Chain A
Amino acid sequence: MAAGLDPAQGLSNGVGARRRFGGALWRRPWLKGASLLAPPVLGFLLIYIAALVALFVYAFWTVDPFTSLTIHSWTLENFRELWHGSTYRTVAFRTVSIAAAVTVTDAIIAFPFAYFMARVAGPRIRALLFILVLLPLWASYLARVYAWRLILNSDGLLNWSLHKVGLPSAGIAYTNTAMWIVFSYIWLPFMILPVYASLERIPHSYIEASRDLGAKGGRTFRSVILPLALPGVVAGSIFTFSLTLGDYITPVLVGGASSQFIGNVVYDSVNQASNLPFGAAFAVVPVVVMGIYLLAARKLGAFDAL
């Protein structure tokens, strides 16, 4: 390198070094990109991946029942217990089925709502509807779940209204039905927004073309709008499904005698039994379920819309 001829070198080594560094970056553009990205990527790896790795590692350890100290020897004991214990299968099945039911419910409710927002309502009404969708998110999650408890309990608003119109009480307080209703309510905005985004993106000319070709309303909906909106529905379902799958507060507050979720068993095994390894092993189950779900969602093109 010609640095030795630089008259400034004797005065300031720092300036020379900086110039050389600048030159190196200019000659190798990938280096510039890499050094720019390295800190956030490292942070991401540390915070996000490290937690997951720790989870996986812990899942293969066990705990001494009396002293609650972790025994650091590799074993499949936790997974064996998960596989053979019918309780854990029931709990996992309950969690996944309620998450699925909530997702389907939200999709059915959200679609017409989002359609109205995106394609029917004028700008003023649309802004108002946006506020209405987002408004519940400003209030505390806990406050909203407690509010539902007041509505559903046996002296609550629901039964009071049923009595007024001469119907018998609905005994859905503290049941899995109550959980389904509350979850569907809480995660609804997370379905409406992506569905709205995908519907709004459909060019009006497509619909006109469909009509020009003689399709009636129903046919246009089935063959043009629904396929184009599907990625948005799938994207929304990722939110509703994963949020329900990981929840453990709603089951405690509105669930009944048989309403344990995976999260509750994890919480109990960490906080009551001091058995972090078993909790970690059970927490692997939703990770796997979500992995499969995301692969399926990618096939359906959910990530094209993001």
Chain B
Amino acid sequence: MTKRMWALLATLAVAAAFPAAGATKQTGGTLNMIAWEGYLQPQWVKPFTKATGCTIHAKYGGSSDEMVTLMRSGGGNQYDMVSASGDASLRLIYGKDVQTVDPSKIPDFKNFGQAFKSPPNNTIGGKHYGISLQWGPNTLLYNTKSVKPAPTSWASIYSPKYKGKVTVPDNPIQIADAALYLMKTNASLGIKDPYELNSTQFNAAISLLKKQKPLIKKYWALASDEISLFKNGDAVIGASWPYQTNTLIADKAPVKDLVPKEGATGWLDTWMVSAKTKNLDCAYKWLAWVSTPKVQAQQAIYFGETPVNSKACAIMDKLSKGSCAQYHANAPLKYFKQIYFWKTPIADCGNGKKNCMDYTKWQQAWTQLKG
């Protein structure tokens, strides 16, 4: 290595050290966070550290199940916050892993869409166990060249027409997708909520998935897996997230996605605070920070999801033209109503009966399905 390169490196090191030195002057602290990949980007984390002095250590979780496991590891005091999806949040609340938060300390809370202030996956009996973050639908993704006519219904991933070219997520919550399809197509089963299934309804969903299995090319575990399946022509239709669609379209792949006529399952993520955090002050500062319109817009565009703060729309269009409409940030209530948000299946059916299949049963059934 030449002297000049050493000099360059030294300059860089000094430059890197200075903002950090500036930050430590304030009364900061450290937050250890579990998040979905893409939720803690330097774009909005660095300005946060600069403004508050709170540094953030990110640990990315690959699935809701993994996040719950991580939150409980080491007696529950290793992590301060988690970006929990609806299928993890109830487990964390009932497991007493997270604490209640006071929305009056979050200035932007009043700008949240009405449905996101006290959704059932983070608010129980009027008590808030976190602040809603972003949401999005699980869409039907297809290759426009191979799938003709364009699909309008989830029926296309259960029909033998695309045998061996179908892909769905490797996730027990996928059972809800089958239940949602049955809810709209088989009224005799009487499914009211795809996450509250008695044993008859549950078995009907499982047998639909068993019939689907010979059509499946692969149950994808990572978003990147699905992207390569579509890119290489190994799959032409499947269940997806908007993130994959955006990535594939950016790569000029001939794909399109939609929310089919039956509606779709979806996720609503919530930042939750560990019951044993030692840095509540920084945690509240973070909750306020990610709720601001600017950060909401940045994250929505980066990940391809929809912000809960209704003021984010204008900033989204400023950052990337047309993105507000693209991610449905200004969509009417009708669009929102057709999304059935992920929540943890529990034995309590919500109608006074306790005969619903809980999540352990969902996991077992999924393992057996994959066999």
Question: Which A residues contact B (CB, under 8 angstroms)?
Answer: 65-68, 85, 87, 90-91, 149, 153-156, 171, 173-174, 252, 255-258, 260, 265, 268-274
Contact = CB atoms under 8 A, between A and B. Distances in A.
Contacts of A268: 367
B contacts with A: majority SS:
helix
Given A65-B360, A149-B228, A85 B217 contact: no
A265 B367 contact: yes
Nearest to B222: A252
B234 A66 contact: no
Contacts of A257: 213-214, 216-219, 370
B368 interface: yes
Interface string B235-257: 00000000000000000000000
A253 B260 CA distance: 29
B206 to A, nearest CB: 13
B164 A271 contact: no
Contact of A155 (B217, B233, B358, B367): B233
A260 B368 CA distance: 10
A258 B370 contact: yes
Interface stretch (B63-71, B177-185, B193-201, B321-329): B63-71
B interface, how many residues as a size bin?
Answer: 20 to 34
Contacts of A173: 217, 232, 234
Contacts of A256: 216-218
Contacts of B232: 153-156, 173
A92 to B, nearest CB: 11
A171 B360 contact: no
A260 B371 contact: yes
A87 B234 contact: no
- Candidate in A154, A255, A270 with the most chain B CB atoms within 10 angstroms: A154
A contacts with B: majority SS:
loop
Given A68-B72, A252-B221, A256-B218, A272 B371 contact: no
A273 B65 contact: yes
A66 B63 contact: no
A250 to B, nearest CB: 13
Contact of A68 (B66, B68, B164, B370): B68
Contacts of B332: none
Nearest to A258: B371
A57 B164 CA distance: 43
Given A155-B233, A273-B363, A87 B68 contact: no
Contacts of A66: 91, 94-95, 358
Contacts of A156: 232
A155 B95 CA distance: 47
Contacts of B216: 256-257
Given A87-B367, A272-B63, 18 more contacts: A65-B358, A66-B94, A68-B69, A87-B368, A87-B371, A90-B371, A91-B371, A153-B233, A153-B234, A154-B233, A155-B232, A156-B232, A256-B216, A257-B213, A258-B213, A265-B367, A272-B65, A274-B68
B370 A260 contact: yes
Contacts of A255: 218
Contact of B234 (A68, A174, A269, A273): A174
- Candidate in A67, A174, A252, A272 with the most chain B CB atoms within 10 angstroms: A272
**6 nearest interchain CB pairs?**
A272-B65, A153-B232, A257-B216, A65-B360, A87-B368, A274-B69
A67 B164 CA distance: 39
24 contacts: A66-B91, A68-B68, A91-B371, A149-B228, A153-B234, A154-B233, A155-B232, A155-B233, A156-B232, A173-B232, A174-B217, A252-B221, A255-B218, A256-B217, A257-B213, A257-B219, A257-B370, A258-B213, A260-B371, A270-B69, A271-B66, A272-B69, A274-B68, A274-B69
A260 B218 CA distance: 11
Nearest to A156: B232
A160 to B, nearest CB: 11
A255 to B, nearest CB: 8
A91 B360 CA distance: 20
Contact of A273 (B213, B358, B360): B360
Contacts of B234: 153-154, 173-174
A155 B172 CA distance: 30
A274 B72 contact: yes
A271 B213 contact: no
A192 B65 CA distance: 42
A171 B367 CA distance: 25
B254 to A, nearest CB: 13
Contact of B69 (A153, A171, A252, A271): A271
Nearest to B231: A155
A255 B170 CA distance: 13
A90 B367 CA distance: 12
Contacts of A68: 68-69, 72, 95
